A and B are shown apart, each in its own frame.
Chain A
């Protein structure tokens, strides 16, 4: 669990918009669950491993954040859920809506860096290229990868297993590589056997790991070709913390990934909280400001 002043994470005008918000954004990914709470001009945020029950994982994480903020559920005006596990959410304590992770990542990226126009989001199950309107964070186009694990966090996880590395280590190994292996397969099943064969031939874990990251980056570049690319580029999603992937993407695309003042893996949850604040305002207005 951690806390930051909204104005230290977002641009001042955006932070001001949420000075009085008391909302929750919950992003339940296939691998990690991220939650943020906007309260008292502060941002409370945390991440945990997604459990079997999206509801239990989400609820427990939010409870911790609310405790950190020193408030209870009764103070929360609205909750927006997003991500892979959003469909299973059921909160009776507060008004709830679900918004797709595409819209949430778009909005969250806009809040984290308002120059952003293009987003690469690589999660555990899929990868996406999203274009947004830099004026308001609204999605203007997006492409999701097909029903295939290549180019996703799951793919990297599988390779880490074969290389007998922890997932966190895979990126670190890749960054150390001097001569990344050439992984030609676009299919995860074939790439898997290619990795085993490279391992058998004695290539280093560093070079194989780097090769895999570049293969994934090439696949993501194809997504960007379809949406079109405009500066600034931001990398969000669970894989955005992987330095090997950042390096591979920057080299493959030929662009530097934009900066944020908070870990970009929280983009989905932040976007969800921004939508929650919007819905809370609409709800209040529908009751003549009496709510």
Chain B
């Protein structure tokens, strides 16, 4: 276990370094990083002791459903941050997952197995994201995990209205059933509306920060910026504290004079795809003279749920997700990416996926070619989901890409 702990400790140190040294001037950034660092440990402890109903989840736009049912989503992406080489070995040796298989699925399989006696034992994943991740959760049912899929369809742009309506109707039934599974009670729509409004408030604050960041591009470097966005959907389980941290950052940045914490010579990039767990990549980007100013992640902070009081809350919840880019096609993703490119004046895109993710690698090739034809350079890289230093190859690619754009 010594080696594993070393890897995890090193990553934690990386976060601590960015909190205590790189961003020592920002109390708000410090608060966000503290929330991120404590999230899994705190929620596991509260869940296991019964103080909270904590459920492992995707931790994205479905999070308001959990909160509306009195539960806290514990995002699987955060488990990757604690995932280790040991978890990978368990997946390969004990579960016979091939070496080439997806790094994310393998590390989560290993981590859930390792935590089988110490974590919360309920998992609810959305079915549209990735089939292999559902397989991982299925495997865990042997070890006492209670697993459920929230089945969502893909809404492609050329889908007939009837087909889309059928998807929406199906997803509504799924959500209602999931509410009963989460809390043992039928869905409280008024509470769902409240939670969607809270979610929208979170998105608005993150948007404000990202807009301010475009004027002060070195105030929040790439790594904490990603954590701010990561928390926007699940709030690290502590909504009020997360909102307070965002307010602090907004206040700090609003007080900056024009030109403060800003370097126009930096190469402006959009990061698209997975939320990399090899934190050294973010450092390499910053050190190479670039900054990530646009984010095309599964966390779509540019949009929110409908706040139309006349609209049925369940309809608003379902329509946002079925029509959202996360459940759509590569074309939908282009639209979301274009918003980020336009807003950030980006000259390059980093398409980041996990080693072995066949879904991501196919999509990245389509995206890369699409943007190449439009004169925007894009580079696809595959990193690991588990913690650990990025490989030399990965860092070389990222640096060469920035040198090329400089």
Q: Which residues of A contact B (CB under 8 A)?
A: 84, 87, 99-103, 125-126, 138-142, 144, 146-147
Contacts and interface: CB of A to CB of B under 8 A. Distances in A.
Given A142-B401, A146-B382, 6 more contacts: A101-B400, A102-B396, A102-B400, A140-B404, A144-B397, A147-B382
B403 interface: yes
Interface in B8-37: none
Most A CB contacts (10 A, CB to CB) among B391, B392, B400 go to: B400
B355 interface: yes
Nearest to B368: A226
Nearest to B382: A146
B382 A141 contact: no
B377 interface: yes
Q: What 5 A-B pairs come out closest when comparing CB atoms?
A: A102-B400, A100-B400, A139-B404, A103-B403, A100-B399
A144 B404 contact: no
B393 interface: yes
A146 B393 CA distance: 9
Contacts of B391: 147
A144 B403 contact: no
Interface in B353-394: 355, 372, 377, 382, 391-393
A84 B392 contact: yes
A123 to B, nearest CB: 11
A141 B392 contact: no
B379 to A, nearest CB: 8
Nearest to A146: B382
A249 B355 CA distance: 28
Contact of B403 (A100, A125, A147): A100
Nearest to B397: A144
A31 B219 CA distance: 41
Given A87-B392, A142-B404, A147 B355 contact: yes
A139 B355 contact: no
A281 to B, nearest CB: 16
A101 B399 CA distance: 10
A101 B404 contact: no
Nearest to B380: A143
Contacts of A126: 393
B184 to A, nearest CB: 47
Contacts of A138: 404
A33 to B, nearest CB: 16
A101 B404 CA distance: 12
Contacts of A101: 396, 400
Given A102-B403, A103-B403, A147 B396 contact: no
A143 B243 CA distance: 42
Contacts of B392: 84, 87
